[in-house]
Amino acid sequence: MDHSKPTRRTGIFFHYQDGERLRDFPEALAGVLNRDNVFLYDAFYPLKPPSSFELEPISEEVLRQVHTPEMVSEVKRSQAFQGALFSAAGTVAAATRIWRGEIDNAFVFTGYGDHHAGTDFYGGGCYFNGAAIAITQLRRHFGAGRLAIVDTDAHHGDGTWDIFEDDPETLYMCYCSGGPREINNKVNVHVPRRTNDEQYLQLFDDTFVPRVTAFRPEAIFWNWGYDGTQGDYGSLGITADVHIRLARTIKSAAGRVCQGRLIVVLCGGSHRYLARQLIPPIIGELAAQE
Ligand SMILES: [Zn+2]
Ligand SMILES: [Zn+2]
């Protein structure tokens, strides 16, 4: 092993949930969990006693620092509440453990994603905006400043945009089919509805890498959706391989600009085989020597 290159400590934040897409997990993580630098923080795993859970829920007060009390109450009355709560809690726990120096980067399994949840609205399978809640917590409790979110789900992150629209200290780069737009470091990068791997990755390299390098955030949140993969519901014509290559590019940028601090938050994507095919190697990239 070359000790001049860092090996990052990677946290996996997982809560057990029903449903098709993550049915192979956590078993499918066997190949990455055996590494010395990979740690699992979980909740609701039916085979484990509750006392061994390491993922705690977050309070309503914490939710209300991003979302209105009315919205929080509405989600609380829905069937999705517990899943939405632990999805956001995973992202908050990941960020907190990184700031405490326990891990360097993280992969957060979510039942419900982030980016369609705004200050007072939600939809499209998103209830609470975990990255936004984590950012608020980092600033409140650790004095964090500039932070970045990069969003490669196929759809526009209207919720994340809404929450940070007036905040130039949060860089948000959204790759979707909406037109190019920019305000206060909220950047929409237009992706053609039909593209291919090389075009997509070139567009990403040309736009994300220089922008995040110049911005110098203290951490990068990656709202990672695989719904743009061929055959999934937001298909852009890209193959599964794009996601692994994005993981390398984003991890390398985090290594250069923010000591490797990177939090991958699972967003859209429906196919179980793609989750199984992609999530273990993406975590493998996070945990790989640089
Ligand atoms: Zn999507
Ligand atoms: Zn967008």
Q: Residue for token digits 């859970």?
A: 53
Q: What is the pLDDT along the chain (290 residues), one digit of tens a residue?
A: 555 677 899 999 998 888 899 999 999 999 999 999 999 998 876 667 666 678 888 999 999 999 999 999 999 999 999 999 999 999 999 999 999 999 999 999 998 889 999 999 999 999 999 999 999 999 999 999 999 999 999 999 999 999 999 999 999 999 999 999 999 999 999 999 999 999 999 999 999 999 999 999 999 999 999 999 999 999 999 999 999 999 999 999 999 999 999 999 999 999 999 999 999 999 999 999 88
Task: Confirm whether 3 is domain-assigned.
Answer: no
**Coil, strand or helix at 183:** strand
Task: Give the distance (Å) from ligand 2 centre to CA of residue 225.
Answer: 13
Task: Confirm whether 2 is domain-assigned.
Answer: no
Summarised one tens digit per residue, pLDDT across range 171-185 is 999 999 999 999 999
Domain that holds residue 83: 10-287
Task: Confirm whether 278 is domain-assigned.
Answer: yes
As for how many domains the chain has, the answer is 1
Nearest-CA neighbor of 187 among 230, 147, 140, 151?
151
Please count the CA atoms within 13 angstroms of the CA of 2 that sit on its side-chain side: 5
Nearest-CA neighbor of 18 among 75, 82, 78, 77?
82
Strands (DSSP E) contained in 90-180 are 105-108, 147-151, 170-176
Task: Confirm whether 4 is domain-assigned.
Answer: no
Q: What is the ipTM of this complex?
A: 0.99
* Closest ligand to the CA of 156: 2
Q: Tell me how many degrees the CA angle 74-76-80 measures, rounded to the nearest 5.
A: 105
Task: Confirm whether 208 is domain-assigned.
Answer: yes
Task: Give the distance (Å) from ligand 1 centre to CA of residue 126.
Answer: 10
Task: Confirm whether 60 is domain-assigned.
Answer: yes
Task: Give the distance (Å) from ligand 2 centre to CA of residue 152.
Answer: 9
Q: Ligand 2 is a single-atom ion; what residues have CB below 5 A from it?
A: 156, 174, 176, 178, 188
* Closest ligand to the CA of 189: 2
The CATH number of residue 107's host domain is 3.40.800.20
* Closest ligand to the CA of 114: 1
Task: Give the distance (Å) from ligand 1 centre to CA of residue 197.
Answer: 18
* Closest ligand to the CA of 228: 1
Nearest-CA neighbor of 71 among 132, 112, 122?
122
Q: Ligand 1 is a single-atom ion; what residues have CB below 5 A from it?
A: 153-155, 225, 227, 234, 268
Summarised one tens digit per residue, pLDDT across range 9-57 is 999 999 888 889 999 999 999 999 999 999 999 887 666 766 667 888 8
Task: Give the distance (Å) from ligand 1 centre to CA of residue 267.
Answer: 7
Task: Give the distance (Å) from ligand 1 centre to CA of residue 223.
Answer: 10
Peptide bond preceding 26 in cis form (omega within 30 of 0): yes
Task: Confirm whether 1 is domain-assigned.
Answer: no
Task: Confirm whether 5 is domain-assigned.
Answer: no
